[in-house]
Structure 1
Amino acid sequence: MAPSTIHLTVNGSARSLSVDARTTLADALRGKLRLTGTHLGCEHGVCGACTVIVDGAAVRSCLMLALQAEGYEVTTVEGLGDADHLGPLQLAFRKHHALQCGFCTPGILTTAHALLLEEPDADEARIREVVSGNLCRCTGYLPIVAAILDARSAYAAQAGAAA
C-alpha cells in the first residue's frame, strides 16, 4: 500500500507528512518530525511515556495511528516551552526536582498540562489519579505531584485571563 499524506498542526505549526498506514503517531512524531521528546516505552499504552495532547486530550501516541491525526492539533512536550522560555509545569518540575532519569517526564508533563488546562484547580487526589497512568521508576511521585500542585496557579491565571 502506498504512503498517505496527512495534514495536522503540531506545536502550533501546520505540517504535512507522508506515512504508511501502520505508522503510529509516536513513530511519525519521532521519525518524520524529529520530535524525540515523545518517548516509546512499552508500546502497549501502559507506561504513558508516549503521551501527547491531541485536540486537548492526553493520548497515548503509540496506540494512535498517524493517519488518525489527520486535521488534528497535536502538542508534544516540545510545544510546552523551550530552553529559553520554559512553561509553568517545566519550571515547577525544575523547582521541585521532579525528574531524575527523565524518561517518563515528557509524558507526565503532557498529561499534567492537559489536566491543568481543563481543571486548573485540580486537587492532590485528582492529580494523583491522573498521573497514576504514567509510570515513573525513579521519583516515587512525591516531587511530581508537588510540582503539578505548584503549577496550578499559573494555569488558573491563564484560565482567568481567558474568561
Structure 2
Amino acid sequence: MITLSVNGKQHQFDDDGDMPLLWALRDILKYTGTKYGCGKGLCGACTVHLDGQPIRSCVTPVSAVGQQNITTVEGLSAQGEHVVQQAWQRLNVPQCGYCQSGQIMSAVALLARNAQPSDQDIEQAMSGNICRCGTYQRIKAAIHHAADLATEIKGS
C-alpha cells in the first residue's frame, strides 16, 4: 500500500512503488493538471513540488516520495488566486497551454527562493522547461509581474 500526501490530502492505493509519480497523480488520483511530455525528465511538463522543491514526476517513482508533501498545480489555488497564476492570466501567457502547469510550478519554486529574480535568474531557473510554442518572453514577463504582485501583497 502506497500513501501519498498530495495538495494537503492523504491518498492510499495499491502499488509496488515502481510506478512513476506522474501516473499515480494523473491516472489513479486524477490530478490531471500535471502533464506527460517526454517521459525522460527533460521537458518540465510534469513538474510538481516535493516539499517545495520542483521535481520531474515522470522519472520519480512513488517509492521515492516517502512522507514528503506533493503539490501539483491544482494545489496552488483552487480558484487561480496564486500570484503566479494571476500573472499568467493577466499577461495571457499560454498559447497551446500544454507546458504551462510545469512552467507555473517551476516559476513558483523560483519565486519562493528569489522574490525579485533578474532576467538571468529567470532564464537559468526556467531553462529546463520547454515551451513548444515559444512563449518564453511572456513567461519571463509573467514571472516579473508575479514578483511585483507578491511585493504589493506583502506591502499591504
TM-score by length of 1: 0.88
Q: Distance in 2 between matches of 1:7 and 1:159?
A: 35
Any stretches of 5+ residues in structure 1 without a counterpart? Answer: none
Aligned to 2:23: 27
Kept in 1, the 8 Å contact 2:94–2:135? The answer is: no
Any stretches of 5+ residues in structure 2 without a counterpart? Answer: none
Q: Distance in 1 between matches of 2:68 and 2:26?
A: 17
Kept in 1, the 8 Å contact 2:93–2:135? The answer is: no
1:98-154 per-residue CA deviation (whole Å, 9 max, x = no partner) reads 101111000000011111111112112101111111000113301110001100134
Kept in 2, the 8 Å contact 1:98–1:139? The answer is: no
Aligned to 1:149: 144
Q: May I ask how many residue pairs the two structures share in their alignment?
A: 156
Match of 2:74 among 73, 78, 82: 78
- Aligned residue for 1:14, secondary structure, equals strand
Same amino acid, percent of matched pairs: 38
* CA-atom RMSD in angstroms: 1.8
Aligned to 1:12: 8
Query: CA 1:98–1:85 in 2, change beyond 3 Å: closer, same or farther?
Result: closer
1:63-105 per-residue CA deviation (whole Å, 9 max, x = no partner) reads 10011112010000111122x3431111101111110111100
Q: Does 1:47 align with 2:31?
A: no
